[in-house]
Amino acid sequence: MVATKSKSNKPAAASAAPVKVALVEDKPKVRESWTRLINSFSDFTCVCSCTTGEEAVRIIPTVAPDVILMDIFLPRMSGIECTVRLKELLPQTQIVILTAMDDQELVFMALEAGADGYLLKRTKPADLRAALLDVLRGGAPMTSQIARRVIESFRRKAKTRDETAKLSVREEQILVLLSQGYSNKLIADKLEISVDTVCSHLKHVFEKLHVSSRTEAVVRYMESKNLQP
Amino acid sequence: MSGRRPNFFSLNPGAAGKRSVGLWGGLLFLCGWLTISSAAQQPTTSATETPVAPTPQLGSWIWAEKTHEWQLCRFWRAIDLPPTNQVTNAVLWVTADNQFSLFLDGKELGGGVDWEGLYTLDVTAQLTPGRHVLAVRALNLNDRAGMTFGLRIEFADEQVMEVKSDSDWRLVTTEDDAWENLTEAREEWVSARVVGHSGVPPRWSEPLEILPLSAPSEAGSVAADPTSVPTFSLGDWIWAAQMSDQQVCPFWRAFEIPPNKTVARARLRLTADNEFILYLNGREIGRGSEWREIYLFDVAALLSPGRQVITVRAINSFSHAGMIFGMWIKFTDGEVMQFGSDTNWRIAPADAKGVEKFLTPAPGWATPVVVGRVGVPPRWTLPQNVNIMPKLEPLVIRFWQRPWFQISILVLLGGLTIFSVWLLAQLALQRKEQVLLERERARIAADIHDDIGSRLTQLVLHGEVVQSELDGDSPVRPQLERICEEARQVLATMDEVLWAVNPARDTLRDFTAFVCCYAEDYLKPTGIQCRLEVDPEMPAAPLDLPLRRNLLMAIKETINNTVKHSGATELSLQIHRAGQKLHLVVQDNGKGFDQTQVDRDRHGLTNLTRRMKELGGSCRVISQPGAGCRTEFVVPLQRSRGRFARWLARK
């Protein structure tokens, strides 16, 4: 029911070849469930499911999926590190981090590492599909807290990094409004621009963030790993 | 007896042999006199008449234009007495810094070597009508110099004539041999300069001793009146019966100061052949190593009523040995006490320790023998010099110098050290406990996440998969949907629990992020716009679990109140850090309330305030009807102090 509703909203996606999804998840049961769930959407197909980060780095580039769903807690190579590697190999592929826990700190680290979005594992299938389509469209999801962390991250780096890693005035303006709890729509109204423009600005912000903090994110994750549940 | 310095008089730059002879005669006489008097005199406490304060009779202190060491000054003054008026009484007083000889009409009347003493002489007989010449030869050894003089002549017709030291005196600048005999001043002679006024410091206001000026006589002869000669209180040269080279002789002597007396002045003179160390009441007060000179100590400040012990540790290098000593004490009531070196002294064994601390002599101590009289060769006839030792002050032992105080301080410090170590140990233990607790919390968080969390997630996923594979019209579907939704709720709650338990989230930044997310999520379905005003650079400063939890509860309650009662359309959450304080403000644009009317308990305000108090913070609610409501929380961030205080409070 949900799937058909979504399909009717996105006729373009439905008419094209199904979206190729790759899955990286270490728990077999969860992996199986995800695979079946994704395959249950008519416009998505799970082309590959890997159990470890090492396997993912080896296999996923060969299948070239459109979206990668990445569990953040993986044995040995973490989801964060795996994201960094895969983003280098497949810059066009969208990577969505899956977490069981709503932890902004982890999420921000994943975003810095190169992830294009994140999803809670308990997300409803309908929301999951919508979010995946959002990511494919380039509409990076960003909460007020993530926006605030992004601003902080750029301000901290402003002293040391080169100009290319700096936010433009408009970008910063959008981020500040986001951090104050305004939605994309409200921001668009306030700045008298279109929602798409806001999204495109945010996409640029993410690109800059990836460029400037990828490796750093891995290091930071490793450092904090001891205290992670 | 080895000499180093020649006798000072023979060093005088202008002193011719002739004068020296005359002077030597006087000196020899004095020494002879000393011998006689010391033989006759025993240590006594004798009352003497208090002389009339002589200062009014004295003139200024006069000297030459310039002052230098080893300087000889010759002062000359002529007086003319009326031929008809008979002199009935004439007394003079004189002294000089440091030494002098006085001449009247070319005849030496005597001299003095102690500028603190004042020398007096009755000259009625000598002052016949006509011209008389007064001459003073004074020698300055070092430092300040000066000569002071006074002569009071009473005539038969009750007229009084006073002659004082002033600028009328002339300084003899020519090399005249018999200058003291000249009855007319030469033109080259300049006026003496006044260098100090009588009784004005640094000069004395009252002489130490008033001494009779020794009348001139043939060398070695005995003076007519023994009591009229200065003795300097010196006794005999004494030593142990057995004399040897490299011998140490610890002399010991005790005396009593009467309980009701106060010492006004006290002078202690001594010397030893070859060296000595002087102790008074167990304290070393001086040393000397020149047997030809006298060492003069002002010990007035060191003497108090009671038993006093003097110890002289004398050392003989070789050949003759001896120690000579004199103590002169004047009490405030004018009584004088004096004693010298004699057979009343005791000699402790050379190897005895702490002799100066003995209050009574030990039984075995020997009695000294008199080895020589003052002024009799081979020892000096007159000391070459009087060394005026620096004035002695009593050792003031402050309370912090007392043993009891120092021991107390040490004990206190020791106690403090032990207490500090104990505290440190406790803190370390506490820290360890804290670390263990954090580890345990992390473990619990991990367990919940890995086990319950992932299984629940699996459950939800499984449910969703089953749901997606069911027929669209299946009646089980809504129920399955409900189960999944319920499980999602559980997971959401678990997220919050995990956030609270996870020690990695014990930071201000995480707290801020969490509270903001909470507010946004909570307000989303209510239609109230959530505005966030948060410091851009919220530090990762530690925020304790109790603080974090209580703050979150407080904010939740406040937001809940807003949603329930305010009817607001916008809620602003502000989080700022000011120094070591965290300010949280929840403000809405709702209908507000009258603070005086509202039942605080119903709004949970009492609860909020209590919660904040527990954290050492405060809570303030500001509201007016129609003007929204503002709730402010201020909490301290200094975790360590709070923890320490809490720990102390627990003890």
Asked if A105's CB is within 8 angstroms of B505's CB, the reply is yes
Provide the shortest C-alpha distance from residue A69 to chain B (in Å). 15
pTM of the predicted model over 0.90: no
Structure tokens at B124: 């009625």
The pLDDT assigned to B257 comes to 93
pLDDT score of B192: 93
pLDDT of residue B422: 93
Cα–Cα distance for residue pair B644/B648, rounded to 1 Å? 6
* Average pLDDT of adjacent 10-residue blocks, chain B of 651 residues: 38 40 47 44 40 71 86 90 89 88 87 82 90 90 86 90 92 84 89 89 81 56 35 80 90 93 87 92 90 86 91 90 89 85 91 88 90 78 72 79 90 95 91 84 81 83 82 80 86 81 78 84 83 77 78 85 82 85 86 72 71 81 83 76 55 52
Q: Determine whether the interchain pair A229/B536 forms a contact, defined as Cβ–Cβ distance below 8 Å.
A: no
How many whole angstroms separate alpha carbon B151 and alpha carbon B147?
14
Distance in Å, alpha carbon of B455 to nearest chain A alpha carbon: 9
- Considering only CB atoms, which chain B residues are within 8 Å of A36? 465, 468-469
**Is the pLDDT at A102 greater than 60, yes or no?**
yes
Residue in A1, A39, A105, A224 to test binding to B, most B beta-carbons within 10 Å:
A105
Q: Which residue from A minimizes the CA distance to B461?
A: A33
- The pLDDT value given to residue B515: 85
Which residues of chain B does A40 touch, with a Cβ-Cβ cutoff of 8 Å? Answer: 465, 468-469
pLDDT at B77: 93
Residue contact A227–B502, C-beta within 8 A: yes
User: Hey, are the CB atoms on B464 and A104 less than 8 Å from each other?
Assistant: no
DSSP class of residue B366 equals B
Spell out which residues of chain A touch residue B492, defining contact as CB-CB under 8 Å. Answer: 102, 122
- Report the gap between the CA of B606 and the closest CA in chain A (Å): 30
Cβ distance B517 to A102 under 8 Å?
yes
Strand intervals (E) in B361-453: 369-372, 385-388
B198, B148 Cβ separation under 8 angstroms: yes
pLDDT tens for residues A122-177?
888 888 888 888 788 766 667 777 777 788 777 776 666 555 667 778 888 888 88
Chain A interface mutation, best of B443, B465, B559, highest count of A Cβ atoms under 10 Å: B465
Contact A229 B492 (CB under 8 A): no
> Which pLDDT score is estimated for B226?
35
Question: ipTM above 0.90?
Answer: no
Which chain B residues have a beta carbon less than 8 Å from that of A122? 456-457, 460, 487-488, 491-492
What is the per-residue pLDDT for B5?
40
Count of beta carbons in the 10 Å neighbourhood of residue B260: 8
- Give the separation between CA B278 and CA B312, rounded to whole angstroms: 5
Distance from CA of B427 to the nearest CA of A (A): 23
- Residue, of A47 and A227, whose pLDDT is higher: A47
Of B449, B458, B513, the CB nearest to A101: B449
Are A33 and B465 in contact by the 8 Å Cβ rule? The answer is yes
Q: B153 φ, ψ to 5°?
A: -115, 125
Chain B residues touching residue A105 (CB < 8 angstroms): 504-505, 510, 513
> What integer pLDDT is reported at residue B54 of this predicted model?
57
| Residue of A104, A155, A227 lying closest to B513 (CB–CB) | A104
CA distance A175 to A47: 35
Paired tokens of A195:
């929602």
Using a CB-CB cut-off of 8 Å, the residues of chain B touching A127 are none
Chain A CB contacts of B460 under 8 Å are: 121-122
